[in-house]
Chains A and B, each alone.
Chain A
Amino acid sequence: MALIDLANPTRFLRLVDRVLPWLAAATVIAFAIGLVQAMNAPDDYQQGATVKIMFLHVPAAWLGMMGWSLMSVAALGTLVWRHPLADVAGKAAAPLGAAFTFICLVTGSLWGRPTWGTYWVWDARLTSMLVLLLLYLGVIALYWTAEDPNRGSRAAAVMTLVGALNLPIIKFSVDWWNTLHQPASILRMGGSAIDSSILIPLLVMALAFTLLFFTLHLAAMRNEILRRRVRTMQLMQAQALQEAAI
């Protein structure tokens, strides 16, 4: 199947039906392995057992940002190429990205209390992550409240591309400003600063969360295509009833 064939929603739905059970199974297996490894990982010499929160917090942060990156590519597809599935992909990713960003903020707050002595500080990393959550909520509101779905999609796509400016701010906030949040310790020049006994469970959990994201995203895209079919059929039904009345 050529990539261009996936532009056809019906062919895309057939592919999703085939792929989804395998992706869901891989997600469950990855979570089972990751959680066992996370529970058996050694305590950090400074933070003790609270380092176990990292196995949730870091993957959730990555996926919160990845969700917006995916939506930005989809927004280009909507505005520039008017790809039929681009808007579907963007709309389906928004609630998922918001949920992962929410998990990142809550687990970060619960990690911050025992390690920093506070649930929240208005430092650049935490604030830019909160801004990301608010942007997600804004885009979701645009998608769901627009009377004309096409206009709503274009407005959401523009907002997504503007909001993408926040992504480098989140990533480099710990380098550009003096923050309470620690600097990058995994994706950084000179390699990871984390011992392999903690890094490996973290990467397995990151893989599990990523598989979960794509499983839910494909399922949500399938739902969105069905929702548009329902809308089209309801409009046709209403039109037929109106013509019959005349």
Chain B
Amino acid sequence: MNLGPHADFIIASYAVTAFVVAAMVAWVVLDHSSLKRVLGDLEEQGVTRRSRSKGDA
């Protein structure tokens, strides 16, 4: 594949996009695992949500 005389601009565009998409995916995945860990810790300490006692969760 020949990207011509402006290959640097094309490669830079794809690299920036890949970086931003990877950052978004990492943010969502790491945030999820961190929140699950905190929720698990709270439940271990015996803290429960009020709605849970009504069979909601």
Are both chains from one complex?
Answer: yes
Q: Do B16 and A237 touch (CB < 8 A)?
A: no
What residues of A have a CB within 8 angstroms of the CB of B48 in the complex? 233
Q: Do A49 and B20 touch (CB < 8 A)?
A: no
Quick one: which of A39, A53, A230, A232 contacts B9, CB cutoff 8 A? A53
The 7 closest A-B pairs by CB, nearest first: A114-B6, A226-B35, A49-B4, A107-B13, A219-B28, A53-B13, A49-B3
What residues of A have a CB within 8 angstroms of the CB of B6 in the complex? 48-50, 114
Residues in chain B within 8 A of chain A (CB atoms): 1-7, 9-10, 12-14, 16-17, 20-21, 23-25, 27-29, 31-32, 35-36, 38-39, 42, 45, 47-51, 56-57
What residues of B have a CB within 8 angstroms of the CB of A216 in the complex? 24-25, 28
Cα A31 to Cα B10 with chains together (Å):
17
* Docked complex: A43-57 residues within 8 A CB-CB of B: 43, 48-50, 52-53, 56-57
Cα A13 to Cα B47 with chains together (Å):
20
Known: A48-B6, A212-B21. A229 touches B39 (CB 8 A): yes
Given contacts A50-B4, A56-B13, A229-B49, 13 further A-B contacts (CB under 8 A): A8-B56, A49-B2, A49-B7, A49-B10, A53-B13, A103-B17, A110-B9, A111-B9, A114-B9, A212-B21, A223-B31, A230-B42, A240-B47
Residues in chain A within 8 A of chain B (CB atoms): 8, 10, 39-40, 43, 48-50, 52-53, 56-57, 60, 95-96, 99, 102-103, 106-107, 110-111, 113-114, 212, 216, 219-220, 222-223, 226-227, 229-230, 232-234, 236-237, 240
What residues of A have a CB within 8 angstroms of the CB of B42 in the complex? 230, 233-234, 237
Cα A54 to Cα B4 with chains together (Å):
16
Cα A216 to Cα B13 with chains together (Å):
21
Cα A207 to Cα B56 with chains together (Å):
36
Quick one: which of A40, A57, A96, A107 contacts B24, CB cutoff 8 A? A96
Known: A53-B10, A226-B36. A103 touches B20 (CB 8 A): yes
What residues of A have a CB within 8 angstroms of the CB of B12 in the complex? 110
Q: List 25 A-B contacts (CB under 8 A).
A: A40-B1, A48-B4, A49-B10, A50-B9, A52-B10, A56-B17, A96-B24, A99-B20, A99-B21, A102-B20, A103-B20, A107-B16, A107-B17, A111-B13, A114-B6, A114-B9, A216-B24, A216-B25, A219-B29, A219-B32, A226-B32, A233-B39, A233-B49, A236-B47, A237-B47
Among B10, B12, B51: residue with most chain A CB under 10 A: B10
Closest chain-A Cβ to B36's Cβ sits at a distance in Å of 7
Cα A99 to Cα B28 with chains together (Å):
13
- For B50, give the chain A residue with the smallest CB separation: A236
Closest chain-A Cβ to B37's Cβ sits at a distance in Å of 10
What residues of A have a CB within 8 angstroms of the CB of B25 in the complex? 216
Known: A96-B24, A219-B28, A219-B32. A43 touches B4 (CB 8 A): yes
